[in-house]
Chains A and B, each alone.
Chain A
């Protein structure tokens, strides 16, 4: 009897176990992420987490412009990127493409899920969250289109290939493998139209900045940020009227200001009135410390990027007592580093107030047949903040410039030194059809050389035959 009883007991016990229904400990079903207003807000923060992408606006999107611009030495770390010797299989190109679209996926996913759960937030909040996603999408597209496509004015009607305009996110495997959902590249003109649309819509619903600054109004999108970004988009498009107008809206709102006499402060205190939008970071959530902007530039970190060519700019132009020289250089022996980025948790500056001032200055200078006095004033505002009051460093007057072009050149130079290593230099050269000067082992590269833009990743051209490759790759 005992033997039968024992057998039966064991069998009964075994058959009562259920081990095949197991839910994740660290994840929710997607829809649960939108079940309450608090969770929807967390989900929106998650889109910013996607914006922090280690391969893209976590810092590298900015770096890829500067290390090819002759203002830095050619960094070893980035392999063939700085050498203009990338192949279509280059890992950096692939990661950048994937990283940028990963951010856009985050924004699109949020928009879709919010639409499914509409009504759980107040109408105003819902609109604001939608606007924030559109801002993020437009910002990411701006960097992608500059990295992977020739500038707007490369063809007369900007009909040359831009990037893929991806406005939906696959929700499941079926969506993702639906071949009809694989889009070709749109023209650069179409990409600009889309960015304008996203930003214009966002401006209406984004909150206006007021009071003290923190992550919620520097690290998150605001109306001023969208206006400033739209001004940049128009400037790069060559629509100077709109560029001047949107820049003026930001300036007129009087919510932003330069940190007086201190060009350095914005990089050490991330939430001064000078910062319009930055990608926030802290030590714990930095998506990959090896990719942090402060790691690459910081002399006490990885120290990958030195800026000797920039430091060697003629002091008749970039004056020796300019505070951007005296406070933003970190000289270590034979090498000079920028002091803008130095730690793993540095925020990534995306839009600072001086850019808006210079955008308006450049647009006004372009619109004026002569030498625009308003433009000179704006230029002086930025310039004087960093120049000590010594006789040798006189302010500009309209008389300082022989003609319109001389003023534009001065504004572009000011952009170069004010916005150095913030991801503008290469794109500013290209949109003015200027060659990249020879530097290090890199010979002079013509502005229309096919190598000034990244290859579309080889794998992607294989997976989506509609995706055209850039010439020369």
Chain B
């Protein structure tokens, strides 16, 4: 050291030195490169570039050469000459910068070496997106990944299907792995109302801004290392980490406006009156006592009949805001990424609001050359003001759509307009129960007085230590914890119908405490022999344990609506409490080995053995092997001259993976537990077990190629996949007469397949000298599903859909609608033999097409349609146009081949007293009239029964996102030390092109509860359109 220093000093004295300054830029983007080492050749004199790529250095008066080097760039030398100002552009090193893909358990591979099917979505697609959880941001981004946003309520679960639904009774949701640790698979953190009340998706606890990349592992080669959890695919999320030498602070923020995309078209007050009264007069005769059931009312006495547009009451335009500060950087021996964020999102339903704050610290240290260690940790605190929507009389989209538009929101006393039972007052309309479709809550009162909140506290953390005893051999031990504490808090106001009124005010609280721990130990070995034989191997173990405990308490008969939490002395009712607890665990051994010769010929094998506490004593262990091969034709000599083809790789894989997602902790057991009878304790059987229960097995085959043309201006990836699932975990239905609890027993029977192709094409369409460029990425998936075996020949039924042998999953079986008889306005259906059966509501009987009396239409007349609720094709098309720092993104999403059963419409075309859709104005009124809406007839809904009348085409093209970003020229702010400044605006869900008549074709009212009942729209909350304005600054 001292000698060197002396030399330097000596030089300083001897040589005339001077100072030069310069800037290093990226040749591709023209932007300044931070952290570049600038060294005077042959000396130790050097400097590092700043955030904007600038440097200054003392150099000899003349001559000398600079050496500029940086990770990911080709090292460059530049003679200084006499220059005092230098600008150097570094060329990205295609070899060095090539993308590395995380393959799990310490493995990572260069994209060019991958033999499995993996889709990667980079972090910039998650940055500042107006979404509540990262799964929403995956929509349309990757081939083979179908993301269905189930509705516009905040925190709603998102249905993710990788290469189709892979289960029938189990869950088809993929496994999520964050920084190497599998996370909580609970789809809803909330448990009230059987988990179907308000929703809180645990993935909402992860700040999308912290994500560096997401990899979707789709085939067996990629996923088999996750064994029994891999059949639905694996989503591997890597969060951002620090890099040495580049210390930056970034600040990201956006504000947004959310609005519903489309409303149902409900009748206004005048039309409502006409229609309801026509129903009645058609039944009872004009002028009869019951012929007028709806009359205006003027509750507030302003001399004008009261009118309410209930949609205005339940929906709103709402603001969102999001702030994040992130620090990133490091030194040679340590690096860090730290962030804090706060987000406040208001939903489109009045009172729906989700606030989240989170902090993250990712730290890596290298205290010894052979030792590396670190942590990844995230703590999130969320407060969700949930709302009940579909499925509940008090739900916003039930009461809000059913409510009469000719009564007011508020009564003459200024309080909500209510009747004696705590429902919406009926004004001068009918109160005859047999005319009324549903009791209707006052939608505004329910939203404003009742409470369905939850507070989630989530710690997601892991620590690792990596030991490298000899070069190429790494031993890693990683311990992770996923801790969720969810406090659910429900209040039902005593003045409103439902639980509140029944219990004179009711508060129910549930605390869910879920701890999942995971410990992995694995050894990785990587070595290149003889320059051409690349070997890499992994062996390891994984242990996982889960314990969930819930404790609930309730208070009834409250002193005053003011005291709407559980407080001592303020609720006179009998207090109640309870709880439950369960746990499960698994233990695995796994290994993976890959070999390639000269980066041309590849083979990889893996094997995993999983043992799972949930499965039957007879079948607790399973083995999941896979093999894959690849041939990089592009590396062959004979391709060197084919300049048009810059890259070409063939790959194929086959393997066995399992699925156990959705299986309860004790599904294989016969359970004998609580059976309380009034004040007496008892024990009773609650589940009949199946000790043979095991995983369902997917045999996944994939063959595909990756190719690049014209110097990678066009890149494409194509896959054919065939996923054969056998031993499906079926909640095999039993006839009710056996009395078996739940009326099913879970067994491994049944089989189905998902076959299809997927393709991704990324192109640089235009690149002009002036700096204008247009790049695009298009992906498409075409999929065919068929159920090939079930428990017994009988179908498994979920509403109007089925799993049926020889038909695709979720096939509709329905009575066929045959329109309206123009002569009399009666509804017509087809019976099983294609004969017309016409229903006459006056007599309650059926006639044939020629007027002869015939038997009643029954379920035996229902037939299988060829339609299912699952799209058969879907994908996305992303375009980026850029010109001098301005970037325009246009992202389209499409899906089709499916039918949606519009149960919202079926319910809102009712012949009972209830609000209706505008469609009902087309009802038959005069002989000869051609229409699809039968003559109105009060309190008879035979014509509205489930039939193909409500089945609609579900295909759509959505303008998922339009974004406009501007990188403000550095000259404007460089002097303030700002490294980068970007402002942007985006519109999410700008529009959707569809024939579907409901609010949105992207629906799934049954959420993830069923794979069969997929594609039902039953008063789903419309999707949200959001306008966002944001800012990224880094220092």
Does residue A464 face the partner (Cβ distance < 8 Å to B)? yes
Does residue B677 face the partner (Cβ distance < 8 Å to A)? yes
Contact A42 B683 (CB under 8 A): yes
CB under 8 Å from chain B, chain A span 124-178: 164, 166, 169-173, 176-177
Choice from B421, B432, B611, B939 contacting A303 with Cβ under 8 Å? B421
Does residue A222 face the partner (Cβ distance < 8 Å to B)? no
CB under 8 Å from chain B, chain A span 88-140: 88-89, 94, 97-98, 101-106, 108-109
Give A102 to B795 CA distance when docked, in angstroms. Answer: 22
With a CB–CB cut-off of 8 A, which chain A residues contact B858? 87-88, 469, 472-473
Contact A283 B733 (CB under 8 A): no
With a CB–CB cut-off of 8 A, which chain A residues contact B794? 462-463
Contact A442 B671 (CB under 8 A): no
Give A144 to B284 CA distance when docked, in angstroms. Answer: 36
Q: Which of B163-171, B239-247, B581-589, B650-658 contacts A (4 or more CB under 8 A)?
A: B581-589
A441 and B735 in contact, given A19-B545, A20-B620, A49-B676 (Cβ under 8 angstroms): no
Contact B791 A460 (CB under 8 A): no
Contact A177 B747 (CB under 8 A): yes
Does residue B681 face the partner (Cβ distance < 8 Å to A)? yes
Choice from A106, A171, A460 contacting B684 with Cβ under 8 Å? A106
Does residue A437 face the partner (Cβ distance < 8 Å to B)? no
How many residues on the A side are at the interface (Cβ–Cβ under 8 A)? 110
Does residue A14 face the partner (Cβ distance < 8 Å to B)? yes
Give A177 to B498 CA distance when docked, in angstroms. Answer: 40
Q: Which of A71-79, A232-240, A421-429 contacts B (4 or more CB under 8 A)?
A: A71-79
Q: Which residue of A lies closest to B733 (CB)?
A: A463
With a CB–CB cut-off of 8 A, which chain A residues contact B747? 173, 177
Does residue A391 face the partner (Cβ distance < 8 Å to B)? no
Choice from A27, A94, A108, A176 contacting B736 with Cβ under 8 Å? A94
Choice from B467, B686, B741 contacting A6 with Cβ under 8 Å? B467
Most buried by B among A3, A21, A442: A3
Q: Which residue of B lies closest to A181 (CB)?
A: B738
Q: Which residue of A lies closest to B674 (CB)?
A: A26
Contact B741 A105 (CB under 8 A): yes
Q: Which of B433-441, B898-906, B928-936 contacts A (4 or more CB under 8 A)?
A: B433-441
Does residue A440 face the partner (Cβ distance < 8 Å to B)? yes
Q: B370: shortest Cβ distance to chain A, in Å?
A: 5
Q: Which of A294-302, A318-326, A372-380, A410-418 contacts B (4 or more CB under 8 A)?
A: A294-302
Does residue A312 face the partner (Cβ distance < 8 Å to B)? no
User: What are the interface flags for B664-684 relative to A under an 8 Å C-beta threshold, 1 for contact and 0 otherwise?
Assistant: 011001111111111111111
Does residue A17 face the partner (Cβ distance < 8 Å to B)? yes
Contact A458 B741 (CB under 8 A): no
Does residue A406 face the partner (Cβ distance < 8 Å to B)? no
Contact A10 B685 (CB under 8 A): no
Does residue B734 face the partner (Cβ distance < 8 Å to A)? yes
Give A282 to B672 CA distance when docked, in angstroms. Answer: 22
Contact A280 B686 (CB under 8 A): no
Give A454 to B499 CA distance when docked, in angstroms. Answer: 29
Contact A24 B582 (CB under 8 A): yes
With a CB–CB cut-off of 8 A, which chain A residues contact B835? none
Does residue A50 face the partner (Cβ distance < 8 Å to B)? yes
Does residue A22 face the partner (Cβ distance < 8 Å to B)? yes
A457 and B469 in contact, given A295-B502, A472-B856 (Cβ under 8 angstroms): no
Does residue A213 face the partner (Cβ distance < 8 Å to B)? no
With a CB–CB cut-off of 8 A, which chain A residues contact B499? 289
Choice from B434, B519, B545, B855 contacting A440 with Cβ under 8 Å? B434
A301 and B502 in contact, given A27-B671, A87-B859, A108-B739 (Cβ under 8 angstroms): yes
Q: B1013: shortest Cβ distance to chain A, in Å?
A: 14
Contact A105 B740 (CB under 8 A): yes
Does residue A394 face the partner (Cβ distance < 8 Å to B)? no
Does residue A85 face the partner (Cβ distance < 8 Å to B)? yes
Contact B740 A170 (CB under 8 A): yes
Give A464 to B467 CA distance when docked, in angstroms. Answer: 62
Give A104 to B735 CA distance when docked, in angstroms. Answer: 14
Contact A3 B745 (CB under 8 A): no
Give A3 to B735 CA distance when docked, in angstroms. Answer: 62
CB under 8 Å from chain B, chain A span 277-311: 280-285, 289, 295, 298-304, 306
Contact B680 A24 (CB under 8 A): no
Choice from B611, B684, B792, B945 contacting A46 with Cβ under 8 Å? B684
Contact B679 A302 (CB under 8 A): no
Q: Which residue of A lies closest to B435 (CB)?
A: A441
Does residue A43 face the partner (Cβ distance < 8 Å to B)? yes
Give A401 to B882 CA distance when docked, in angstroms. Answer: 100
Contact B437 A76 (CB under 8 A): yes
Contact B613 A22 (CB under 8 A): yes
Contact B580 A440 (CB under 8 A): no
Contact B519 A42 (CB under 8 A): no
Does residue A257 face the partner (Cβ distance < 8 Å to B)? no
User: What are the interface flags for A1-26 relative to B under an 8 Å C-beta threshold, 1 for contact and 0 otherwise?
Assistant: 00110110011001101111110111
Give A109 to B683 CA distance when docked, in angstroms. Answer: 12
Q: Is the interface of B mostly helix, strand, loop or mixed?
A: mixed
Choice from A94, A183, A441 contacting B938 with Cβ under 8 Å? A441
User: What are the interface flags for B547-568 relative to A under an 8 Å C-beta threshold, 1 for contact and 0 otherwise?
Assistant: 0000000001000000000000
Contact A101 B736 (CB under 8 A): yes
Does residue B872 face the partner (Cβ distance < 8 Å to A)? no
User: What are the interface flags for B344-387 relative to A under an 8 Å C-beta threshold, 1 for contact and 0 otherwise?
Assistant: 00000000000000000000000000110000000000000000
Does residue A47 face the partner (Cβ distance < 8 Å to B)? yes
With a CB–CB cut-off of 8 A, which chain B residues contact A26? 580-582, 673-674
Q: Which of B47-55, B88-96, B139-147, B688-696 contacts A (4 or more CB under 8 A)?
A: B688-696
Does residue B942 face the partner (Cβ distance < 8 Å to A)? yes
Does residue A64 face the partner (Cβ distance < 8 Å to B)? no
CB under 8 Å from chain A, chain B span 460-494: 465, 467-469, 475, 477
With a CB–CB cut-off of 8 A, which chain A residues contact B578? 284
Give A302 to B441 CA distance when docked, in angstroms. Answer: 12
Choice from A76, A285, A333, A472 contacting B676 with Cβ under 8 Å? A285
Contact B685 A106 (CB under 8 A): yes
Choice from B477, B541, B583, B677 contacting A219 with Cβ under 8 Å? B677
A172 and B670 in contact, given A49-B675, A85-B941, A215-B678 (Cβ under 8 angstroms): yes
Q: B928: shortest Cβ distance to chain A, in Å?
A: 29
Contact B680 A29 (CB under 8 A): no
Contact B576 A73 (CB under 8 A): no
Contact A19 B613 (CB under 8 A): yes
Does residue A459 face the partner (Cβ distance < 8 Å to B)? yes
With a CB–CB cut-off of 8 A, which chain B residues contact A21? 613
Contact A460 B736 (CB under 8 A): yes
Contact A14 B521 (CB under 8 A): yes
With a CB–CB cut-off of 8 A, which chain B residues contact A446? none
Q: Which residue of B lies closest to A440 (CB)?
A: B434
Contact A48 B543 (CB under 8 A): no
Q: A290: shortest Cβ distance to chain B, in Å?
A: 8
The 6 nearest A-B residue pairs measured at CB: A105-B739, A19-B585, A45-B682, A46-B675, A46-B684, A74-B434
Known: A27-B672, A166-B739, A298-B502. 18 other contacts (CB 8 A): A3-B469, A19-B544, A20-B612, A39-B683, A47-B682, A49-B677, A73-B434, A74-B434, A104-B739, A170-B688, A172-B690, A173-B689, A182-B737, A280-B679, A283-B576, A306-B433, A441-B939, A457-B736
Could you list 8 examples of A-B contacts with CB < 8 Å? A7-B467, A44-B682, A173-B688, A173-B747, A176-B734, A283-B556, A284-B578, A441-B938
- A-side residues, CB < 8 A to B, are 3-4, 6-7, 10-11, 14-15, 17-22, 24-30, 32-33, 39, 42-52, 73-77, 80, 82-83, 85, 87-89, 94, 97-98, 101-106, 108-109, 164, 166, 169-173, 176-177, 179, 181-183, 215, 219, 280-285, 289, 295, 298-304, 306, 332-335, 344, 347, 440-443, 457-460, 462-464, 467, 469, 472-473
- B-side residues, CB < 8 A to A, are 283, 370-371, 420-421, 431-439, 465, 467-469, 475, 477, 497-499, 501-503, 519, 521, 541, 543-545, 556, 574, 576, 578, 580-587, 611-613, 620, 665-666, 669-686, 688-692, 732-741, 743, 745, 747, 791-792, 794-795, 797, 844, 855-856, 858-859, 938-942, 945-946
